[in-house]
Structure 1
Amino acid sequence: MADHGLKFEIESKTVAEFRTLDKSGELILQPEYQRKAVWPERAKVSLMETILLGYPIPEIYLAYETSPEGEQTASVVDGQQRLTSLLEFLNNAFTLVGLEDERLREKFEGKLFKELPDDVRREFFQYRFPIRRLSNLADEFVRAVFARVNRVNMVLTEQELRNALLPGPFNDFLKDCAAHQISTKSGIFSGERRSRGGDLEFYAEVFGTCIFGLSNKKTELSERYDKISADFEDYQSRSIEFLELLTTLSEIVKWVGRTRWSNIVDMFTLLHVSWGLRNELGNASPNQKMQIQDLLDQFQRTVSVMKRDSENGEAAGVLESLADMVDMPVEKVKKIVKDYTSGIRNSSDLGSRRVRSQQLALVLSANLKGCLSD
């Protein structure tokens, strides 16, 4: 059994003590490795109901750190969702809606914390949480505890575990990608996906694909992530190129309404194919970029129409327009679009990814050759 001199003291804290810690700035609710608060309101209300009933709650892990000057902070290793919800309720951020206990529902349904009777609020403040105290541990051990506790509890996504266990330059790069204007313009990530690290995982997978080639997401993402994270200096220059590509595409693509490029599957393919053509895209003139913009817009429209109904009159029109742009026979373009559309099914499968990338590359390369030679 490994001995790192770890100290895990068991104690308890009242709701009032947590409020005091938070007000003094000593409570760090969201350390860098923690996920964002994602509990739905029904879960928050259920926790408040548990406290009102005086029922027990699973222990909270706090990592205490004391400075040479005697200043102390307590970082939440496990229990962030519970404590965030608790403090929100104390600040009257939500009401008690959907209480399950009949007695409590009759008395407190729809009430804010400040609207509860004085004796109830006083008792609420005296409720004790069981605490597992971690004292002055090295950051790596705190992260390891965080990841292991949450892995056992099965409450974190794989990316949230990576964020905890693999901080550093690669993680910072992924955050830069997620914060890039292309993420906002495309509207590709829902609030829930962002809150669970799905945006970071997406860019990690795309970047890994650009470096190592297409793969099946389930089999190689973690291995690639570990490799890049461990040797990020080797990939520094390409990370800069990748961010530059995001800027180029954010300016070239027509982000009007929600297009196919706002879907994870299609954006993945666009980024992968564009990586192979990044020099041509980056060196294109303003006029040439307009042509590329029109092509990408026409391509995504054609895919959407063909996906709905490949035999209607609208499909014939969009196919002809796309064929003119790339100077190919209509039948050839029709096959390209059909093959791309077939690759949307089983979207993370290696074969499907390969088909989508091959077909988009055919169209984009043909257009680039034409407009760059003008």
Structure 2
Amino acid sequence: MSNTGMHVEYSSKTILELRNLQEQGHLNLEPGFQRKSVWRITDRRKLIQSVLEGYPVPSIFLYRRDEGGIPKYDVLDGKQRLETIFMFSRQHPFHRDGFEVKHEFAEDGCPHEWEWKSLERWERTANFLTYKIQVAEVGGSLADIVDLFVRINSTGKALTTSEKRHARFYNSPFLKEAERLARRHRDFLTSERIMSTTDIDRMRDVELVSELLASISSGGPIHKKQAVDKAIGNEAAPTRELNKAIDEFSATLRAVRQVCPNLKSTRFRNSAEFYTLFLVLWQMHQQKLILNDRERNDVAADLLQQFSDGVDAVREQQRKARGPTPEQQVYVDYLMLTQQSTDSLAQRKRRGQMIEQLLSGLFEAKDERRIFSPEQRRLLWNSDEKKCCSLCEEPLDWNNFQVDHVAPYSRGGRTDLSNAALACSSCNASKGAGRNSRW
């Protein structure tokens, strides 16, 4: 952290003063670099109990800046403490998130469950509202402030790698898109048990999506940390390249759903192995293989399930100190690649090669030509006696007819005359819109 321009002023503020700042809109609990809340209700109750009992709580760090001549305080450290105080005391916008805390007042002689309204009713809010919290107001450049945020949040529930990236690169277009995609596919990631609720809270879903986007942009598997940091920090990256990676990410995720519909019952729900399966299917897409044939996908799903079960069986034998059979050697080799340095480039490449070999030869390639040639168009037109749309029978002329793949190109239909038919533009467009043209 640079020492130039950085200054800190210490003071104390009562909870009432902090509530007033929040009410007046001067307190920003969600600056761009801030992480998500990860406290559970037990953490929140312990904090309120400490306040009610008069115990000191850690300092709050605020970054003061001017916004249109009005002071604004970005919370660097203490976000969850402030949230908890506002929740308990029913301060907007947390007025619906109140909770009860067990506390014994001296005059009662025994503990009771208290929530804010009952404290107000018994006129016992004064000590809570006048409780003082040490506040450090920090000034300096934004780069220094972000560095300070990362440092002071490296203890307690320390920042994850993804949370640190979010703090340092929160303006990165790449990171913003990764966060958007993670939100969009959150239900899939959690339902397939790739990510837990805690993982989502700690932004590990964003980290996984960032890795996959960076891998697509790099053309294959990457070494985790260096390549992801480079991709996120490269604000000069062309928008077109990023958009292409986003499209391919979404299309590949659809293929994962089709090829491995029971993902949560396999090893491939583990984030490191999910990464491998995802990249293998992405590379198959680059090779123009057809990944939406239901029968072939069923075979692929069975192969992946059997392979996963084989690796799990070897792992169980290891736990019982039983050696593998010669037939299990492929599972032993794969298991070794998942037990150490799982995110290294070499391990990722080797795992990918093994999954590629497992699925090798299963999927057919698309026709190299997607567009019918002028010669094919003339031959089809001259050989068709009706000269009308094969779908709606609308009359056609030379200037408005189109050539349609009878068996869709995306599903392996060949670009030859045996798979061609005349079509009007509206029918051809609606037919194309009704199927997944990417695959």
TM-score interval, smaller chain: 0.7 to 0.9
> In the alignment, what sits opposite 1:95?
100
Q: How does 1:37-56 map to 2 (within 5 A)?
A: 37-56=37-56
In the alignment, which of 230, 239, 244 is matched to residue 241 of structure 1? 244
**1:63–1:142: 8 Å Cα contact kept in structure 2?**
yes
Runs of 5+ unmatched residues, structure 2: 91-96, 315-326, 368-411, 414-439
Q: State yes or no: 1:355 paired with 2:350.
A: yes
Q: State yes or no: 1:81 paired with 2:80.
A: yes
Please tell me the residue identity of whatever aligns with 1:151. S
> In the alignment, what sits opposite 1:192?
198
**2:296–2:363: 8 Å Cα contact kept in structure 1?**
yes
Distance 1:296 1:207 in 2: 24
Q: State yes or no: 1:204 paired with 2:196.
A: no
Please tell me the residue identity of whatever aligns with 2:362. N
**2:169–2:232: 8 Å Cα contact kept in structure 1?**
yes
Please tell me the residue identity of whatever aligns with 2:247. E
> In the alignment, what sits opposite 1:60?
60
Q: Is the partner of 2:247 in helix, strand or coil? A: helix
Against the structure 1 CA distance between its residues 194 and 106, is the aligned structure 2 distance closer, same or farther, given a 3 Å change threshold? farther
Distance 1:9 1:209 in 2: 44
Shift of 1:108: 4.1
Shift of 1:200: 1.8
Shift of 1:48: 0.9
> In the alignment, what sits opposite 1:159?
162
> In the alignment, what sits opposite 1:302?
306
Q: State yes or no: 1:123 paired with 2:122.
A: no
**2:290–2:365: 8 Å Cα contact kept in structure 1?**
no
Distance 1:370 1:363 in 2: 17
Q: Is the partner of 1:45 in helix, strand or coil? A: helix
Q: Is the partner of 1:368 in helix, strand or coil? A: coil
Task: Output the aligned Cα RMSD.
Answer: 3.5
Q: Deviations over 1:161-192 (max 9, x none)?
A: 22111221221132133123354664522111
Shift of 1:15: 1.0
Q: Is the partner of 1:62 in helix, strand or coil? A: strand
Normalised by the length of structure 1, the TM-score is 0.77
Please tell me the residue identity of whatever aligns with 1:297. A
Distance 1:244 1:177 in 2: 11
**1:339–1:355: 8 Å Cα contact kept in structure 2?**
no
**1:228–1:235: 8 Å Cα contact kept in structure 2?**
no
Structure of larger gyration radius: 2
Q: Is the partner of 1:188 in helix, strand or coil? A: coil
**1:62–1:134: 8 Å Cα contact kept in structure 2?**
yes
Shift of 1:272: 1.8
Against the structure 1 CA distance between its residues 248 and 232, is the aligned structure 2 distance closer, same or farther, given a 3 Å change threshold? same
Shift of 1:222: 3.2
In the alignment, which of 271, 274, 277 is matched to residue 270 of structure 1? 277
Distance 1:105 1:75 in 2: 40
> In the alignment, what sits opposite 1:33?
33
**1:342–1:352: 8 Å Cα contact kept in structure 2?**
no
Distance 1:344 1:146 in 2: 34
In the alignment, which of 265, 286, 296 is matched to residue 279 of structure 1? 286
Distance 1:356 1:285 in 2: 20
> In the alignment, what sits opposite 2:375?
none
Against the structure 1 CA distance between its residues 257 and 278, is the aligned structure 2 distance closer, same or farther, given a 3 Å change threshold? closer
Against the structure 1 CA distance between its residues 32 and 77, is the aligned structure 2 distance closer, same or farther, given a 3 Å change threshold? same
Normalised by the length of structure 2, the TM-score is 0.67
Q: Deviations over 1:132-154 (max 9, x none)?
A: 1134x443332122112223667
Structure with the larger RCO, 1 or 2 (CA within 8 Å, 6+ apart) = 1
Q: State yes or no: 1:258 paired with 2:257.
A: no
Q: State yes or no: 1:224 paired with 2:215.
A: no
Shift of 1:247: 2.0
Against the structure 1 CA distance between its residues 125 and 108, is the aligned structure 2 distance closer, same or farther, given a 3 Å change threshold? farther
Q: Deviations over 1:5-29 (max 9, x none)?
A: 3332222211112222222332211
Query: Percent of counterpart pairs with the same letter?
Result: 22
Distance 2:108 2:306 in 1: 55
Against the structure 1 CA distance between its residues 102 and 124, is the aligned structure 2 distance closer, same or farther, given a 3 Å change threshold? closer
Runs of 5+ unmatched residues, structure 1: 311-332
Against the structure 1 CA distance between its residues 371 and 297, is the aligned structure 2 distance closer, same or farther, given a 3 Å change threshold? farther
Please tell me the residue identity of whatever aligns with 1:59. S
Higher helix share: 1
**1:280–1:368: 8 Å Cα contact kept in structure 2?**
no
Distance 2:239 2:309 in 1: 40
